[in-house]
Amino acid sequence: MAKINIELSKNEDANKLLVSQLKHKFDRIALGGGKKSLEKLAKKGKMSARERIDTLIDPDTYFFEVGAFAGEGMYEEYGGCPAGGVVVGIGYVCGRQCVIVANDATVKAGAWFPITGKKNLRAQEIAMENRLPIIYLVDSAGVFLPMQDEIFPDKEHFGRIFRNNAVMSSMGIPQIAAIMGSCVAGGAYLPIMSDEALIVDKTGSIFLAGPYLVKAAIGEEVDKETLGGATTQSEISGVTDYKMKDDAECLQTIRDLVDKFGDFPKAGFSREKPVPPVKDPKEIYQIFPENRAKPYDTLEILERLVDDSKITQYKAGYGQTIICGYARIDGWSVGIVANNREVVRSKKGEMQFGGVIYSDSADKAARFIMNCNQKRIPLVFFHDVSGFMVGKRSEHGGIIKDGAKMVNAVANSTVPKFSVVMGNSYGAGNYAMCGKAYDPRLIVGWPSAKIAVMGGEQAAKVLLQLQIHSMKQKGEEPTPEQQQELLEKIKGRYDEQTTPYYAASRLWVDAIIDPLETRQFISLGIEAANHRELEKFNVGVFQT
């Protein structure tokens, strides 16, 4: 008993430390360009991007931030780009869920890095997938010129944003833009392609070319306010619709506009009165192992996330390395697909490794996913997967066929899908469990998440063998000490690339969250998804 208690205590300490590190990293990123830049902004009478969002959203409501760690560890040669220079999330404005995009003028004057463009496109994707209104709080100097070749011309670059403005307009998705600072060059199209545009007097400006470029291009001398300030664009050109005296009035006017929106048809997902779990969610810290190689009872985790700690398991005794079941989370009906990390015995009496997808578990999950589509039940995937089972027995049993069946079902699902990467998410297991490539409406990782083609130890050994082979071909014979040094170097580099922060910096996941935030995140996601009607489900062709 004492040994078990020590183990639980070690797990709890390790997981709480990871959550503490998460909060510390976020606090640093939330400063944007730093305290001095924030003070400089305030002296101009401007709110910061995060202050604007806090003022805009309803008090004491949940704001789910997307891409807080975007750009983390990237662009160091340019001084970094905290949060990608833009704050994005889903929040409540006058009781209505909205996507909010706020440029952070403390980060290179709000200039667009490549990750900034990717993050803005992700915000628009969320708005389109869920038919959510989108609010842009614009304060940007435009494209970051030293990296213009990586942000300007391609399909998923800067111009795609304006294309999406037009598409969202045709879809009937409300778009409101507030010009609260600089809005120049191509970026000027974003607010004017929105349904309505507000501009803040004296601090907001919008033009295709600023005073310096106008001087260089046509020799005309003109100041910024005369060229494209609030008076010019609201009273002379008619480009903007509302002239606001300051940030506070601008944000309140946006709230007034959102308050008058009508409703659209809903998807009709089932929701009852929420019931908290019977089992304490805080015990997740104790159950989830510090040592990622150790097995644990995944069902115990799930029972601390679902309403009343109740799950109706589908095919409980079959394909046991994947748990499938129906439950409610914050009142919403969900279908859960989770990797079971316990070592189990198959129906044939064979031992199966936890966290590995076998043929029977893939077959079971595919059928369950199709059932959820048939019943219009949103899907939630909980990842802790090493991949599909390999070897002669698995190949003869048709693992590729059964794995393809599961991937097919996931890819063609039309019910909203949400992914929570608790631990490992390796190889094709990431695909089958609805990784980023399979269009989850939202995907998050716990601080313990790892996303890669395979585990660090295995990958390092494979890469080491390749490197040794290459050295031998050149006539070099590395000593055991050199081999060990190489292994540690390779493993260190690979391990760094599997951290949740590496994934979040590149938007492979939308956020890193405290495990205790999981229920709230899923509930918000399903509420958002409920705003758009479902398409017809068609699974296509697969081998049985």
Over the stretch 53-81, which tens digit does the pLDDT of each residue have?
999 999 999 999 999 999 999 999 999 99
Q: Would the pLDDT of 1 be above 60? A: no
**Run of H or E including 355:** none
Q: What is the Cα gyration radius of the chain?
A: 25
Indicate if the pLDDT at residue 479 is higher than 90: no
Q: How large is the average pLDDT for residues 186-199? A: 89
Find out whether 145 and 188 touch, Cβ atoms under 8 Å: no
The model's pTM: 0.93
Decide: helix, strand or coil at residue 279. coil
**Which pLDDT score, from 0 to 100, does residue 282 have?**
98
- Indicate the pLDDT class of residue 106, thresholds 50, 70 and 90: very high
Q: ∠ CA(259), CA(178), CA(136), 5° rounding?
A: 80
Question: In terms of Cα–Cα distance, which of 163, 173, 117, 172 is closest to 140?
Answer: 117
| pLDDT(543) > 70 | no
Return the SS3 of 439.
coil
Q: What is the pLDDT of residue 489?
A: 77
The answer to whether residue 544 scores a pLDDT higher than 70 is no
Closest listed residue to residue 181, CA positions, set 209, 196, 202: 202
- Alpha carbon separation from 151 to 184, 189, 201, 324, 516 (Å, rounded): 16, 16, 30, 42, 36
Q: What pLDDT is attached to residue 486? A: 76
By the 8 A CB rule, do 98 and 134 touch?
yes
Q: What is the mean pLDDT of the chain?
A: 92
CB burial readout 279-315, b (16+ within 10 A) else e: bebebbbbbbbeebeeebebbbbbbbbbbebebeebb
Q: pLDDT band for 239, please (50, 70, 90 cuts).
A: very high
pLDDT at 507: 97
Q: What confidence category does residue 501 fall into, taking pLDDT thresholds of 50, 70 and 90?
A: very high
